[in-house]
Amino acid sequence: MPRHKTYTIYNWKKRGVKSDNYDNLYNHHMSINNCQLCNILFDNTSKNLRCLDHDHDTGLYRLTICNSCNANYKTEINRFKSCNKSGHMWITNHKQKYNATYRFDWRYQRKIDGMRKIKCFNTLTKAIAFSFIQLLKKPLS
């Protein structure tokens, strides 16, 4: 394995990036030529270096972005800390052990008329759709 690849994967593991196949993740990450947020071309200047963005709670890969977007993206995520990282008040990322591995899903949890409503979804899109439907049924007072 080339030295860059070995060193990069070592650093990802050290920083909490989780993957079933680090070789495939590395190849995918290195094959991307433009930032997935601002579309700037990657080069060897400090501003345009490739960064692997990952969820710090789950360790899962999100995007390959440039240094500049990586700094700004962290600021955007911190804006939603009062809600959570999904940006929705009642939706959280949930990790549960399933057999010998972990499974990640999205949990909707809201108290309506004194009763707690909890429902799990395998995608964030489904959780958001359910949240909006519930909000239409019972708006905030």
Q: Averaged in consecutive runs of 10 residues, what is the pLDDT profile of the chain (141 residues)?
A: 88 89 92 88 80 83 85 54 53 69 76 82 84 82 58
By residue range, what is the domain housing residue 38?
A: 3-79
Q: Are residues 61 and 126 in the same domain?
A: no
Q: In the prediction, which pLDDT does 77 show?
A: 47
Q: In the prediction, which pLDDT does 30 show?
A: 92
- The DSSP bridge pattern shows strands 91-98 and 101-112 to be antiparallel
Return d(Cα 55, Cα 37) in angstroms, integer.
16
Q: In the prediction, which pLDDT does 83 show?
A: 46
Q: Are residues 16 and 57 in the same domain?
A: yes
Do the domain assignments include residue 86? no
Domain boundary among 79, 101, 117: 79
Q: Are residues 97 and 124 in the same domain?
A: yes
Do the domain assignments include residue 73? yes
Return d(Cα 138, Cα 141) in angstroms, integer.
9
Q: Domain holding 18: CATH number?
A: 3.40.1800
Do the domain assignments include residue 105? yes
Three-class SS state of 109:
strand
Q: In the prediction, which pLDDT does 80 show?
A: 42
Q: In the prediction, which pLDDT does 72 show?
A: 74
Q: In the prediction, which pLDDT does 113 show?
A: 78
The residue type at 69 = C
Split into its structural domains, the chain has a count of 2
Do the domain assignments include residue 85? no
Q: Are residues 60 and 10 in the same domain?
A: yes
Return d(Cα 65, Cα 53) in angstroms, integer.
7
The residue type at 4 = H
Whether 119 contacts 108, CB under 8 Å: yes
Return d(Cα 29, Cα 45) in angstroms, integer.
18
pTM: 0.52
